């Protein structure tokens, strides 16, 4: 066999070996890369779930704090059939904190995608065990250059950049008068100072609203029942609308009549109230006696001291009662002349009598 044929046969065998190797479980990604991370004998296997893995590929690096600690083993679909699941291997001896979350980032503008593991520092030294899963709710994917350029294109083409000119013009107009701008800043500063001084009141009001919200939440059932019955009540009010309107009209008419009566009888009412002054003054002077006599009302006809003398459920009582009706009527003023009006000494009406009182005085004389 010639040398040329031997070289061709060797190349064919090498190509076949590469093709057969690529037909394995992960194709060419299963081939080890030169300079890849050393995982050790027992690497930690983690399952990371993402809503979108972009163009992340197997054999991508896994980093913690910028240092490469592992690689992406495979990319598949989670058990829910909708979420992407990335299986990674972390170097043996590297502890991944239990509160870690995963992010897909890009090394530079056109660089490779990689996964970085970030911890919030609240795991208290606990680490994820091999086979653990970090759900998609804790992980996120940073925006790629394609997404940034796409959004920028949308803003520049269809985002209405031309509409920014009126806004800029209005801002220039507003800032053209420095004195007004300075005054606005001063007033804003005073407003903020006033709000700062009332922080306690504002906090108290917010706490009150929160307490009211909690109370309303505790009465959700009653509120729901009331809201459910409101349409029925509104329907009843709608049916009684004519009666309600008529009632309001009658109240308006009653108010007018009452105002007219009060206007006409204002003078007499004031005089009557002034005439009550001596009576009220006498009652005020006898206030101590009235207070002393009030306990006797509850035990009439027995005095308060006599209640203690009652033994059992009965007591003997001897009363002298005058049943002659004429004597009682005379005590009430029957058969005596008509009363004479005595004007008050002070205030309106003093020294003069009303027409009815004058006629009574004439009749009395």
Check residue 341 and give its pLDDT: 66
Mean pLDDT, consecutive 10-residue segments, the chain of 365 residues?
Answer: 58 57 52 67 92 88 91 92 93 90 85 88 83 91 77 71 78 83 90 92 93 91 90 90 93 90 86 86 84 75 69 73 72 68 63 45 40
- In angstroms and rounded to an integer, the radius of gyration of the C-alpha atoms of the chain is 51
The DSSP line for 204-260 is: HHHHHHHHHHHHHHHTHHHHHHHHHHHHHHHHHHHHTHHHHHHHHHHHHHHHHHHHH
Closest CA to 295 of 308, 283, 282, 284: 308
Domain locations in the chain as residue ranges: 27-146, 173-233
Six-digit token string for 328: 């009682």
Helix (H/G/I), strand (E/B), else coil: 141: strand
**Rounded CA separation 37/111 (Å):** 18
Helix (H/G/I), strand (E/B), else coil: 152: helix
Check residue 24 and give its pLDDT: 46
């Amino acid at each position: 066999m010639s040398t040329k044929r031997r070289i061709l046969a060797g190349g064919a065998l090498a190509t076949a070996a590469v093709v057969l190797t690529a037909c394995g479980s992960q194709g060419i990604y299963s081939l080890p890369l030169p300079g890849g991370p050393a995982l050790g004998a027992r690497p930690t296997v983690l399952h990371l779930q993402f809503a979108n893995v972009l163009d992340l590929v197997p054999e991508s690096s896994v980093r913690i704090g910028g240092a490469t600690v592992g690689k992406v083993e495979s990319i598949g679909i989670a058990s829910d059939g909708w979420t992407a699941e990335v299986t990674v291997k972390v170097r043996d001896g590297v502890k991944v904190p239990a509160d870690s979350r995963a992010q897909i980032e890009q090394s530079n503008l056109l660089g490779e995608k990689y996964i970085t593991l970030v911890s919030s520092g609240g795991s208290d030294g606990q680490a994820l065990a091999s086979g653990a899963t970090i759900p998609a709710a804790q992980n996120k994917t940073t925006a790629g250059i394609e997404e940034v350029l796409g959004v920028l294109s949308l803003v520049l083409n269809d985002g209405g950049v031309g509409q920014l000119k009126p806004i800029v013009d209005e801002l220039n107009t507003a800032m053209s008068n420095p004195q007004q701008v300075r005054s606005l800043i001063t007033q804003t500063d005073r407003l903020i100072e006033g709000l700062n001084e009332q922080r306690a009141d504002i906090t108290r009001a917010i706490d009150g609203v929160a307490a009211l919200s909690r109370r309303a939440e505790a009465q959700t059932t009653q509120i729901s029942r009331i809201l459910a019955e409101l349409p029925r009540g509104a329907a009843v009010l709608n049916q009684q609308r004519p009666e309600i309107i008529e009632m309001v009209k009658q109240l308006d008419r009653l108010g007018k009549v009452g105002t007219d009566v009060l206007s006409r009888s204002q003078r007499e009412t004031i005089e009557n109230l002034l005439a009550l002054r001596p009576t009220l003054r006498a009652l005020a002077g006898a206030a101590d006696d009235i207070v002393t006599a009030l306990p006797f009302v509850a035990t009439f006809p027995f005095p308060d001291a006599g209640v203690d003398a009652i033994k059992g459920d009965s007591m003997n009582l001897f009363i002298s009662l005058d049943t002659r009706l004429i004597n009682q009527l005379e005590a009430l003023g029957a058969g005596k002349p008509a009363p004479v009006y005595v004007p008050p000494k002070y205030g309106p009406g003093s020294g003069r009598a009303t027409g009815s009182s004058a006629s009574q005085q004439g009749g009395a004389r």
